[in-house]
Amino acid sequence: MPEITGPARVRFAPSPTGHVHLGSARTALYDYLLAKQTGGQFILRIEDTDRKRYVEGAEEELMTSLRWLGIEWDEGPDIGGPYGPYRQSERKDIYLKYAQQLVESGHAYYCFCTPHKLEQVHQEQQQRKESYHYDGTCRALDPKEAAARAASGEPHVIRFKTPKTGTTIVKDQLRGEIAIENSQIDDYVLVKSDGWALYHLAAMVDDHEMKITHVIRGSEWLPTFPLHSLIIRAFGWQEPTWVHLSVFLKPSGKGKMSKREATDLIKDGYSIFLKDLEGLGYLPEAVVNWVALMGWSYDGSTEFFTMPDLVEKFSLDRLNPSPAAINFTKLDHFNGLHIRNLDTNDLASRLVPFFEKEGFAVDFDKLVKIIPILQVRIATLDEAPQMAGFFFRNKVKPELEDLIAKGLTATESAAIAERCLRELRTLDDISPEKAEPHMREVVEAMGYSAGQVFGIMRVAITGQKVSPPLFESMEIIGKDTVFKRLEKAITQLRQAL
């Protein structure tokens, strides 16, 4: 692979047709990394000329999701830049001018075939078991006559005049050279009858005008890649470096994920859409780390990367063209790692909305105290309220059956709770350093198991059977509340008799 010598100008060019998914996130990330690493620019271009697929609000969601990931653009529709406009719907005349140029140079032609006529041709080709291609009727028209018909307002499209002989050789950075017989390349439509350019023309024009040096895009563009090279060559422009990324497969590794499968994932607490991942408690840092490694590796073993690491270490020649299966277990793993990498206040601030969503009024100072015990235990932020919500409750309501330790009666459990309370009252403070060794001795002396004794205490004090470590929790809850809750549990157990 040739060394990248100068600053790269790269563009992310999504169509606002729905939610931003992992595939888009990865393309945008690689674009961004290459731009930042080389001191170049990352450009956001919105490809919104297909009004039928246009989704209201998708552009806003896209920008929010990219910014959530930590990806900022240097030029784009909202901030402008020297090569704008950056929305294709605002560039209609630019494309028409270039289409005209191709017609004049003999690389494109007007086609007046009606949709009805094309449909007939299609059906005949189907009967002959041929794949669909334009039959070339208007390719043979006299250019002057065709121009006059177009000028007179006769409905027409503009098609690319693909050479019919010879071979086109194109080069993808990951796959090397790809050769295709020109006879296999159709005379694609560049401009539709409504005057709007299609991707094949619009994207090539924009990449040229915006001085793009590297085109990183999905491998769904490989079939029309030779056409794109031919269009660029017809203009006499220099081709960018082409990078077609690998395909994402569903977690089983068998095939691509259907829309339905993608939507259903949410039931298991996962999603391929960025807007969902945030609400599910994933950190953008983890998503970036996870997505970066779906098709790229550094040394094959290093796994933990922050954005600055990636900017430093990313390289096109470590990209892998093989399909990558989406592995959500890995996402959980990375999320855990990045949660543990956050500093206390940062993690606390990110947890606040998750507690509030569950109806807890958060005391931030208290939350900061809880962080050390939470940080090592949660894989996603949304696990925190269930695990630690009790810290923000004034009252806990243990279930009676949970207060009764396994293999014991309510009377025995009440007696244990009483003994525990008595012992704790003898201590100067209930810090884990003091309380835990003392209570372990008490357990020994009583002849019950630690599971039984601490189980009763845990349920009495936290209201739940599973909690962060008991003694650390007790210290945060505070002596007075701990004693009060034990007293209440004793009464509850006694009343059950």
Active site positions, annotated: 259
Shortest distance, position 110 Cβ to ligand GLU, whole Å: 26
Rg (CA), the chain: 32
Q: How far apart are CA 140 and CA 147, in angstroms?
A: 13
* 172 versus 412: smaller Cβ distance to ligand GLU: 172
Tokens 């990498």: give the residue: 341
Q: What is residue 497's three-state secondary structure?
A: coil
Shortest distance, position 36 Cβ to ligand GLU, whole Å: 19
* 219 versus 271: smaller Cβ distance to ligand GLU: 219
Helix axes 284-292, 58-69, angle to 10 degrees: 90
Shortest distance, position 116 Cβ to ligand GLU, whole Å: 30
**CA atoms 115, 117, 121, 123: torsion sign:** positive
Shortest distance, position 221 Cβ to ligand GLU, whole Å: 6
End-to-end CA distance of the chain: 80
Question: Which helix (DSSP H) or strand (DSSP E) does residue 289 occupy?
Answer: helix 284-292
* 16 versus 455: smaller Cβ distance to ligand GLU: 16
Cα 285-290-294 angle, rounded to 5 deg: 145
* 13 versus 294: smaller Cβ distance to ligand GLU: 13
Shortest distance, position 46 Cβ to ligand GLU, whole Å: 9
Q: What is residue 241's three-state secondary structure?
A: strand
Shortest distance, position 168 Cβ to ligand GLU, whole Å: 19
Distance set, CA 430 to CA 366, 369, 420, 426, 442 (Å) = 17, 15, 12, 10, 15
* 240 versus 284: smaller Cβ distance to ligand GLU: 240
Q: Which two tokens stand for residue 25?
A: 């996130």
Q: How far apart are CA 390 and CA 463, in angstroms?
A: 7
* 197 versus 339: smaller Cβ distance to ligand GLU: 197
Shortest distance, position 370 Cβ to ligand GLU, whole Å: 43
Question: Which helix (DSSP H) or strand (DSSP E) does residue 416 occupy?
Answer: helix 410-425
CB of 182 within 8 A of CB of 165? yes
Q: φ, ψ for residue 190 (rounded to 5)?
A: -100, -40
Q: How far apart are CA 27 and CA 252, in angstroms?
A: 22
Binding residues for ligand GLU, rule: CB under 6 A, are 13-15, 47, 203, 217-218
Q: How far apart are CA 161 and CA 164, in angstroms?
A: 9
* 239 versus 402: smaller Cβ distance to ligand GLU: 239
